[in-house]
Structures are given as structure tokens and as C-alpha cells.
Amino acid sequence: MKTVFMLMVLTIVGTCATPKYTTKIQNLKDSILLVDSAEVVKYSNTIKSTELKTHLYILSSDEFEGRETGKAGHKKATQFLKSYYQNEKIESAYGGNNYFQTIPGDFFQNKIESSDNVLAFIEGSEKPEEIVVISAHLDHLGIEDDGQINNGADDDGSGTVALMEMAQAFNLAKQDGYCPKRSILFLHFTAEELGKKGSEYYTNHPAFPIENTVTDLNIDMIGRVDDLHKNNEDYVYLIGSDRLSKELHYISEKVNKSYFNIDLDYRYNAIGERNRYYSRSDHYNFASKGVPVIFYFNGEHEDYHKPTDTPDKINYELLQKRTRLVFATAWQIANQEHRVVNDEDNELLK
């Protein structure tokens, strides 16, 4: 009986000595200190709806023939991005003029020709080996049998032009002496519509060691409003932010609360969610290798995967605000003192 009593006492003492889960979470929240607030506001404000609109009307025009993987229109789109980054004097991840990661045709099925991911890069000033990835897929569905073109303005032209504007904003900051501490990789994937094959290839053949990838902030459709938010357009769905790193989740929330106050809707982040959005876009190939991710998404709408997904239907002010949110989140991750920590390694959660 005495032994049992002593065990009970030790159990009670041990339980009392362990911080409650809510206390651990609060300590984690309190540990997040926002950096460079004035600069975040200044350079996020260089992301303009007018420039997003200009880029998107080009990218989702008939000239690019729906940007189908392996087809001529997709190749034109990759050249368009390469020219943009060269004109902005934003470097390639591979150095020189090589902005492409070529994926051989035999990696695909159904006799798809080789295709390219596009990689632009800003090297960090203090921790260049640590890589913050911001990604979106560049491909779409091509031309219908009846000749209609799937221009893919929202899917994922909106994410593609968001990356272009964010890269320009980070580069402007660098030119003014505010180079990010960590490196930033702007990664445009091919073949998302074929089952995330472009990101699968990249994560298996990364330009930088995958263990050095701090996070992937992935954008797939952020230019429209779904039926659930007709009365509240100031929203964006976030998926995956807390799956591997609660620190990443609370960084995201703190950045949003401090600068934007967008309604962050987590309904599609639920485990077992029937649409399986967490596993359906390119971020998932990073998450499966232990890289914490956030997926930014506006939800499906009546023009999803139809030729009617055209640039005149994009809400450009909303696209601007959502892009600025991703930019500010990436700035924090790239410039805070320590890299984002996965839950299993976070001492504040133990």
C-alpha cells in the first residue's frame, strides 16, 4: 500500500510539474516576435493589383493555349517567366541563364513530352543555405476537343502572377539594402494537373537539399470568391499550416492579425476532410518529406476547370491583398532569428 501511495504522489507531482498544453501554446505564441514591420508594409505595398492584372491578362491569354504540360503553350509560358525574371534581374537557382528544371517525358504517363519547372532565386545574406520556398503551378488544362481554350486565370494563373510580384518586391527590398537573411526560391511547377508531378520531381531532385527547405508556402487559386463567401469576400482558406509546425501556424496568424486581418478559414484543414485538399496540390510533396507547409486557396467556383476561368472574372484587389499576406508571411520566416521548427523538435511544446 505504501508503494502504491508513493507512486500516486509521484504521478501527481509529475503532472503538476508539466506545463498544461494551453500554457505551452501560449508560450509558443509569445515567442514569435515580428521583424522589420516598417519594411514589411513598405515592400508589400509595392505589390499592385494593376501589375497583377497586367501579368495575368498576358499569361491567361489564348496565346498560351491553356498552358498544357509538354505542349507549345506551356513552353511559351515558361519563356515568359524566364524573361520576366531576367528583366527584373532576379537570378536563377542554377546560375547563369538556366531557369529551368527539365522533367523528362518518361517521368510522366500517356506519352507526355518533357516539361519544365521554373526556378528564380534570391540568395540570403546571413543563412543562404536555408531555403524558403514560395510556389505555384504554372500549367493548366490546354485546349478542349471543340477548340475552346482553358485559360486558367484563377487556376493557377493567379498564383503564378502572385509569385512574380512577390519576387519583384523582395528584390526591390534587396536593392535597398534589406536582403532576406534566408534564401527565397520562387518555384513554378509544371504538371500539377497531372497529379502534382512537377513538385514530385522537384522534391526528389531538389535544387537545394530538401532538409534545408524551411517551409513551402504554396498558392493554388487566390483570385476568386467561392459560394460560401459571397457575403464575406475578405477571406482565404489556409490548409496544412499546423500539420507539422504549430510555430508556422501561429507565425501566419500573427502576421495576418498585425497587417491584414483577412478571415483565415480553416474548414478544409480538418483531418479527413472529404475534398482532400491537403493532399491535392504541390505543397503535399514537401509535407510528405517533413517540410512544414501552408496552402493558400480561395475554394472552387463555377468556372473551376472550365474554359470560362478567364481573367475578367478575377477580383484583383482581393488577389493583391492575399498576395501581400503571403509576402509578409514569407518575410517573417526568412528574417526571424531561427528557422521554423517542426513540432517534434520544438522545446516549447515538450
Q: What is the pLDDT of residue 18?
A: 64
Distance CA 280, CA 24 (A): 32
| pLDDT 10s digits, 31-41 | 999 999 999 99
pLDDT at residue 279 greater than cutoff 50: yes
The predicted structure's pLDDT at residue 19: 80
pLDDT score, position 92: 97
Pairwise pLDDT comparison (19 vs 13), residue with the higher score: 19
pLDDT > 60? residue 13: no
Those residues whose C-beta lies under 8 Å from the C-beta of residue 218, and which sit 6 or more positions away, are 134, 135, 136, 281, 282, 283, 286, 293, 294, 295, 296
What is the reported pLDDT for 207? Answer: 98
What is the rounded distance in angstroms from the CA atom of residue 341 to the CA atom of residue 206? 21
**pLDDT(265) > 60:** yes
Q: Phi-psi bin for 52: left (phi > 0), alpha (psi -120 to 50), beta?
A: alpha
End-to-end CA distance of the chain: 32
Does position 145 have pLDDT exceeding 50, yes or no? Answer: yes
pLDDT digits (tens, 9 = 90+) for 51-83: 999 999 999 999 999 999 999 999 999 999 999
Closest by CA to 323, choosing from 79, 86, 156, 80, is 156
- pLDDT, tens digit (0-9, with 9 covering 90-100), for 296-339: 999 999 999 999 999 999 999 999 999 999 999 999 999 999 99
Q: Report the alpha-carbon distance of residue 333 to residue 350 in Å, rounded.
A: 22
Confidence of residue 11 (pLDDT cuts 50, 70, 90): very low
The model's confidence at residue 110, banded by pLDDT at 50, 70 and 90, is confident
pLDDT, tens digit, 9 for 90 and up, residues 174-183:
999 999 999 9
Q: Cα separation of 281 and 278, whole Å?
A: 7
Q: Report pLDDT digits (tens) over 155-192.
A: 999 999 999 999 999 999 999 999 999 999 999 999 99
Query: Does 14 have pLDDT greater than 90?
Result: no
Q: Is the pLDDT of residue 4 over 80?
A: no
- How high is the pLDDT of residue 15? 43
pLDDT on residue 10: 39
Write out pLDDT tens, residues 200-234: 999 999 999 999 999 999 999 999 999 999 999 99
Which three three-digit cell numbers place residue 271?
483531418
Residues in the chain: 350
On average, the pLDDT of the chain sits at 95
